[in-house]
Amino acid sequence: MRNIVIVGSGYVGLVTATCLADLGNRVVGLDCDEEKTESLRRGAMPIYEPGLEERVLRNRQADRLFFTSSYREAIPEAELVFIAVGTPAGAVGQADLHYVEEAARSIAENIANPLTVINKSTVPIGTGDLVADIIRQHARCPVPFAVVSNPEFLREGSAINDFMHPDRVVLGSTDRGAAETVAELYRPLKCPILVTDLRTAEMIKYASNAFLATKISFINEMAAICEHLGADVKLVAAGMGLDRRIGPAFLDAGIGWGGSCFPKDVRALVNMAANHGAHPQLLRAVTEINLDQRRQVVIKLKQSLGGLRGRVIGVLGLAFKPNTDDMRDAPSRDIIALLQAEGAGVRAYDPVAMDVARKQLDGVTYRADAYDAASGCDGLVVVTEWNEFKQLDMGTIKRSMRRPVLVDGRNIYDPEQMAELGLVYWGIGRCAPVPEAPAS
């Protein structure tokens, strides 16, 4: 049992705090936002993550998980402090380290006993050294401390499971003893633990996310080629994925990657690389392909409808992926903006993200369900592959639409079945160009 403080009760911080408490440690979640801290104490979750709420409650009841906004209360008791604050994108795509620096300073000002500070936020290469410098400068008394980089690889929607069953844990530090102390926390998870230097650990996080984004952009480029050559990218991906060297994961062609990590991290890596004299041409192309996927949706609709001015387009799904209400860098934002710029009206439905969307998107009408969103539309776009969209009665949808054009941005429907129902069906990389939609 260790005394642990997690600075930041956002996605990564809250999941890490809860899971480390579940593993038997005494964990304090520290967040400057007093309102958030107060509602966490009452058991109200600031984010939607399957399985999180019950685990928070269970560990609160077992007196293993606490929440506070006071560094003065939390830090002197701690043996290990995780920094899990946000690193938003700055003006030119560089990671903004403002919150990390503030956390390091506040930790230093309250340090009283030997401490291991572990950086979980995704930070530019070299930030571990910066955190060490800040602590050294601001420590009120000379207390021994070590800094360890421990990047997170959690996916939203399966974050608890990803924490409890990781493929690997990466620890970066020049202090072997500190790395070993952190490794002990993860031993119950029985996964490979890779110990590196600080900078290499920081780079592993960026390289992993950039590779996954590249894999998706690669299959999306294959999808574009398939459309021109009359092949089906779903089967191409299945055929490729059976090769163990390639693997089937992250080969779903669609409207591209979004969310809180891939866009921000790829941009930050490109920025860092360019600033240090490297030429990240592949990652630039990966980003451009991703934007093209959004544009292609609008081009397909325009082609079938002969222009979008005055048309009404239904959008199914707003979250950047299913099982989350997260709208950060969601493809829906770009697609809706592009549709609106072409003069189309947009009505949308998402099972959980509409409350978030209402605060962030202008000029969108929200509907009670998918049927309602489709009814009377000139075109319908599937943006997020929620399970409930896979079970829709597409015959009913077709009959309710003004013009039966469907852009399946996540390839969840069978092209032949859709054509049989009379829908003008566009998948991503699945069929040759289709003719103009009949007026109905």
Q: At 59, which amino acid appears?
A: N
* Cβ contact 153:166 at 8 Å: yes
Q: What residues contact 14, with CB distance under 8 A and at least 6 apart?
A: 6, 29, 40, 45, 46, 47, 49, 52, 56
Cα Rg of the chain, angstroms: 24
Residue 65 forms beta bridges with which residues? 27
Q: For 66-145, where are the alpha helices, taking DSSP H only?
A: 71-74, 98-110, 127-138
Nearer of residues 216 and 377 to ligand UDX, judged by Cβ = 216
Smallest gap from Cβ 34 to ligand UDX, in A, equals 28
Smallest gap from Cβ 255 to ligand UDX, in A, equals 7
Nearer of residues 262 and 386 to ligand UDX, judged by Cβ = 262
Nearer of residues 66 and 262 to ligand UDX, judged by Cβ = 262
Nearer of residues 59 and 384 to ligand UDX, judged by Cβ = 384
Smallest gap from Cβ 268 to ligand UDX, in A, equals 13
Smallest gap from Cβ 118 to ligand UDX, in A, equals 16
Smallest gap from Cβ 170 to ligand UDX, in A, equals 12
Q: What residues contact 241, with CB distance under 8 A and at least 6 apart?
A: 247, 248, 249, 251
- For 56-108, list the strands marked E by DSSP: 65-68, 80-83
Residue 375 forms beta bridges with which residues? none
Nearer of residues 115 and 216 to ligand UDX, judged by Cβ = 216
CA–CA separation, 235 and 258 (whole Å): 24
Nearer of residues 22 and 334 to ligand UDX, judged by Cβ = 334
- Binding site residues, ligand UDX, CB under 6 A: 152-156, 209, 212, 216, 250-252, 254, 256-262, 320-321
CA–CA separation, 379 and 381 (whole Å): 7
Smallest gap from Cβ 378 to ligand UDX, in A, equals 26
CA–CA separation, 29 and 85 (whole Å): 11
Q: At 264, which amino acid appears?
A: K
CA distances from 82 to 93, 223, 264, 313 (A): 25, 41, 21, 45
Catalytic residue among 19, 226, 261, 431: 261
201 exposure class (CB count in 10 Å sphere: 0-12, 13-18, 19+): buried
Smallest gap from Cβ 171 to ligand UDX, in A, equals 16
Nearer of residues 10 and 256 to ligand UDX, judged by Cβ = 256
191 is catalytic: no
Instruction: Give the residue at shortest CB distance from ligand UDX.
Output: 261
Write b or e for each residue in 355-370: b if 16 or more Cβ atoms lie within 10 A of its Cβ, otherwise e: ebbeeebeebebbeeb
Q: Any idea which residues carry the catalytic annotation?
A: 261
